[in-house]
Copies of this chain bind each other. A is one copy, B any other.
């Protein structure tokens, strides 16, 4: 029996409705196990800009810091999409949150669920049995380097990585690999980039502390092919921020639906759990958004709080929904269930 503070950042688009289902499932977990989860809700993204002019208000940041874990929905609104150079943008809230909370590791499991093989654009025999976790560095690299314009109108973005930035996420990834199939693949572009060469050096050094883990090195262009032609070869994939952004979204097609994929963004003090699907504004309020990614993110949150039996139970309940086809329209077009119904069904199995 534990008491935990969970900060909810539902955000924009379908964020609030999928978060609601995750909370429903967490409430069911609390009741079944006698825990107490104290939820507080805070603004982030476009809705925060509308209300306060700031995509990540200080109040929200303080609430995250004061919590045991953060459950995040999604951010982004079409009214900001046409002008990526607008001064204030929803994404800034996300990037600032990562930086301020020091969320240096983005962790994304990619699983090919048997029930969903038919929905993937990839042939089933290629992806069946895929079970990998991508570790993407989240607070460094070209995302956070100096950027701007020169006097003669050129633009620049600097990419830098320090040893400690690489070391801390590499240790996390090696630990994960040690507890899985003992295989780690570093994705980089060491034939071109100096930062990638540093990643290789540091990973090679750290590898010596994990003698049971086999390490492979793959150039990112090759990885972009391998991840869809032969995804079963991967166990833990480790990579820098920009490459991770690209290959983790690419890998998401294996699952057959973005609506199934959770993520954790981990820092030294706090961790944020977030479905990867984004705000999907066209679906907002229609009851068609798939809540399973948010619910599986809640399962990762439970793991993070040390509540592993509870997390496992949530995953089993999600499997029930998959097996019995209690799914939203993108996965069950002929007899679809609503966001609400799918959430309730999973909560029922807890």
> How close is A35's CB to chain B, nearest CB, in angstroms?
36
Q: Does A212 contact B (CB under 8 A)?
A: no
Query: Which single member of B142, B154, B225 contacts A193 (CB below 8 Å)?
Result: B142
Contact with B along A51-84 (1 / 0, CB 8 A): 0000000000000000000000000000000001
Query: Which single member of B153, B158, B198, B246 contacts A220 (CB below 8 Å)?
Result: B246
Q: Does A313 contact B (CB under 8 A)?
A: no
Q: Does A126 contact B (CB under 8 A)?
A: yes
Q: Does A122 contact B (CB under 8 A)?
A: yes
User: In residues 183-198 of chain A, which contact B (Cβ within 8 Å)?
Assistant: 189-198
How long is the Cα–Cα vector from A139 to B154 in the complex, in angstroms? 15
Contact in complex: B156, A160 (CB < 8 Å): yes
Q: Does A161 contact B (CB under 8 A)?
A: yes
Number of copies: 2
> How close is A140's CB to chain B, nearest CB, in angstroms?
10
Contact in complex: B197, A224 (CB < 8 Å): no
Q: Does A180 contact B (CB under 8 A)?
A: no
Q: Does A228 contact B (CB under 8 A)?
A: yes
Q: Does A229 contact B (CB under 8 A)?
A: yes
Query: Which single member of B155, B224, B252 contacts A249 (CB below 8 Å)?
Result: B224
User: In residues 157-212 of chain A, which contact B (Cβ within 8 Å)?
Assistant: 157-163, 189-198, 200-201
How long is the Cα–Cα vector from A69 to B337 in the complex, in angstroms? 60
> How close is A91's CB to chain B, nearest CB, in angstroms?
5
Contact in complex: A154, B147 (CB < 8 Å): no
Residues of chain B contacted by A6 (CB below 8 angstroms):
none
Q: Does A222 contact B (CB under 8 A)?
A: yes
Contact in complex: A91, B191 (CB < 8 Å): yes
Asked, given contacts A121-B126, A156-B159, A159-B158, whether A221 binds B193 with beta carbons under 8 Å apart, the answer is no
Task: Name the residue on B nearest A244 (C-beta).
Answer: B221
Q: Does A38 contact B (CB under 8 A)?
A: no
Task: Name the residue on B nearest A196 (C-beta).
Answer: B84
Residues of chain B contacted by A122 (CB below 8 angstroms):
121-123, 228
Q: Does A49 contact B (CB under 8 A)?
A: no
Residue in A84, A157, A220 with the greatest tally of chain B CB atoms within 10 Å: A157
Question: Interface residues, chain A, CB within 8 Å of chain B?
Answer: 84-85, 89, 91, 95, 120-123, 126, 142-143, 145, 147-150, 152-163, 189-198, 200-201, 220-222, 224-225, 228-229, 242-243, 245-250, 252-253, 258
26 examples of A-B residue contacts, CB within 8 angstroms:
A84-B191, A84-B196, A84-B197, A85-B201, A89-B191, A91-B192, A95-B192, A121-B228, A121-B229, A122-B122, A142-B193, A145-B156, A148-B194, A153-B163, A155-B198, A156-B159, A156-B161, A157-B159, A157-B160, A158-B159, A159-B159, A189-B245, A220-B245, A225-B250, A225-B252, A243-B246
